[in-house]
Amino acid sequence: MSHTSFFTQSPTPLHRQYASPTTAKTKTMTSSPSPWQRQSALFGSTSNPSTSSKRRQTTDEASRSSLGYFAFLPQSDPRPPPTPSAPNTDPKAATEPAERLDAARTPEACSESDQQDRGASAHTARLEREQAEATQGEFDWVRSGGVLRDACGRRDKVRTEAVRAEIRRRDEEDGIMRTWNAYEERWRRLIRPGTGTDQHMGIRFRDIPWPQGAAADKEPGVGTVGTVEELDVESIQRFFLATLRVRTNRMTRKELVRAAWLRWHPDKLVSVLARVVPEDVGMVQEGISLVIVCLKALQGS
């Protein structure tokens, strides 16, 4: 062998001599194109479904095989656990939010709200006062014989008659209340006499505040009855029931009769009978019995 052939025919490199069968197989597959490669060169780049799925599967397996995990052993916390806080029982701490809220309300804001409330109350009171004055003016005008008129200046007969009926009703109620108040006042003076000579003076029949008549009469409840013959059952009943027609009355019929019964019961009038003059004791007892009969009739009806 010549020197030239020695360098020309060099031996195969070691990395090629010890090439893996997989590499040789790959080279063989690469050297001879497959029908799919020829189709790709003819119609453009297309993906082989079988090859793609195999490649994805191989990639997934390689990625899963390369994944790992770390295991950490539990470590104890050197710090002690926090202790629960005890409830705050200090009354000052409970009132602190309210105090801060009150402090947030400045005196200027409080005074402004108070002024608004007072202004609204004053406005309402002024409107009510003006309405009452206007109504009283209409009553005075109709009472003097005038006729009310509507907004167009025409005579308003319906409203005028309504005001006249209200005036009559008010006059009747005022008369009933005057009679009743005089009756109550005389009873107070009779039960609680003065410290002077009144407590030593004898009581006459006419001094008893007999419940006689109604408000339409000449105030008989003030004590204008002079004899027992002037007492009438119907007049007594009319007197007690008259207050029920007053719209401002808050007593029922039963309560009214009961209050009168407690006042006219003979056991309640022992101190009064002891002060009656001897010549009028018989008439006073007869008059008291007549009032009791009237009250029993009112209780039963």
Residue 20 has pLDDT above 80, yes or no: no
Residue range 29-71, pLDDT digits in tens? 445 555 555 555 545 544 555 555 555 555 555 555 444 444 4
Domain boundary among 83, 103, 134: 134
Tokens read off for 190: 């009779």
* pLDDT at res. 28: 45
Q: How far is CA 91 from CA 75, 84, 86, 102, 241, in A?
A: 44, 21, 15, 17, 61
pLDDT (average), residues 244-258: 92
By C-alpha distance, which of 239, 242, 245 is closest to 224? 239
Q: Supply angle C-alpha 39, 41, 43, rounded to 5.
A: 65
Residue 258 in any domain: the answer is: yes
| In a domain? residue 48 | no
Each residue of 81-91: pLDDT tens digit? 556 555 555 55
Spatial contact of 291 and 264, defined as CB atoms under 8 Å apart = yes
Look at residue 257 and tell me if it is in a domain: yes
Q: Can you give the pTM of this predicted structure?
A: 0.55
Residue 198 domain-assigned (yes or no): yes
| Best mean pLDDT range from 16-30, 73-87, 179-193 | 179-193
Q: What is the domain range of residue 194?
A: 173-300
- What is the C-alpha to C-alpha distance for residues 291 and 299, in angstroms, rounded to an integer? 12
Summarize the confidence of residues 218-229 as an average pLDDT.
62
Query: What's the structural domain count of the chain?
Result: 2
For residue 229, what pLDDT is reported? Answer: 87
| Model pLDDT, residue 7 | 44
Give dist(CA 145, CA 280) in Å, integer. Answer: 50
What the block records as the tokens of 291 is 């009032």
Q: Are residues 293 and 209 in the same domain?
A: yes
- Rounded distance between C-alpha atoms, residue 92 and residue 99, angstroms: 10
